[in-house]
Amino acid sequence: NIDDCWSAKKRDAAGRLVPDPERFPSGIRALADYVHAKGLKLGIYGDLGNFTCGGYPGTTLDYVKLDAQTFADWGVDMLKLDGCYSSEEEQAKGYPEMARALNATGRPIVYSCSWPAYQGGLPPKVNYTTLAEVCNLWRNYDDIQDSWDSVLSILDWFFTNQDVLQPAAGPGHWNDPDMLIIGNFGLSYEQSRSQMALWTVMAAPLLMSTDLRTISPSAKEILQNRLMIQINQDPLGIQGRRIVKEKSLIEVFLRPLSQAASALVFFSRRTDMPFLYTTSLAKLHFPENAVYEVQDVYSGKIISGLKTGDNFSVIINPSGVVMWYLRPTALPVQPWHVVGKQAHGEGLRPILL
């Protein structure tokens, strides 16, 4: 994905966007052909306003159709449409208009909107039913910075508001907590593992942002964890929820997966030392009398025959995670799955899916 500042400072005589001739001397079409030849896809950045956030030509309402066709002609596969220098009214018209314009080109283009981020991310200003009809993914909240504080602030906002956000996600329409910063400078090894696991349990689009020429083997290993990616891309597309928040600063997140499987993330906000956390699947509202095979997503270790009522312990490093993939080997007569949902004053209740 190419971000802001890729274009020349002015449109051409026909009103079309033009790539910066120094940085993209062969143009975007040639770049798209090169990227496609590698078996990859190409994304580009636009902005619904007079200017992009970086001060380059924006896509005002009168240019929506032309720019959509330009991106399609270039062979672009994804558009991130930002919202700098635009009004609420322009956004309300422009974001759906761009969706129609992209579809009218006949080229499949993934459409990422920044619309809710400019409206505070929450109802009543944001209508998630409408968003899901218009966009494939959307930025709800602030830009991520290369810091652990930034990751935590995004995490807090998303899970504080999970009752609103979680139902909005599904195949073809996703909440986007912004990119992975694994491999950059701001996160420790444990924090990098945590961001990957927590973004996966959120069913977040995984867009990495790091210099692949200098990436460390450990960052590469985290980003290329096959089981993690499989969980992230689970076909049910259900966003996970935070189901436990302990006074010990341990939090537990659950994501339901296809074939009655689940992903559990045990996350430590502690900064002192590794913590031994003991619980059971029964306490996490898994179905009674079920038996699971558990695979540790990072270590690959397997625990067989874990029953719902069995107590177990995990050791979680400071600002780290333990992530489990649970596959049922025996279920109760009526197979069902559980998502913890907070009911007012009642603690956690299981919900049948």
Q: Catalytic site residues?
A: 82, 143
CA 353 – CA 333 distance, rounded (Å): 15
CA 350 – CA 353 distance, rounded (Å): 10
Tokens of 344: 């007012």
% helix, strand, coil for the chain, step of 5: 30, 25, 45
Cβ contacts of residue 129 below 8 Å, gap of 6+? 168
Burial (0-12, 13-18, 19+ Cβ within 10 Å), 81: buried
CA 17 – CA 168 distance, rounded (Å): 33
Secondary structure letter of residue 271 according to DSSP: S
Burial (0-12, 13-18, 19+ Cβ within 10 Å), 269: middle
SS3 48: coil
Contact 319, 275 (CB under 8 A): no
CA 33 – CA 245 distance, rounded (Å): 48
DSSP E strand stretches across the chain: 43-47, 78-82, 110-113, 137-139, 174-176, 241-245, 250-256, 262-268, 275-280, 291-296, 302-307, 311-316, 321-330, 341-343, 347-349
CA 328 – CA 308 distance, rounded (Å): 10
SS3 218: helix
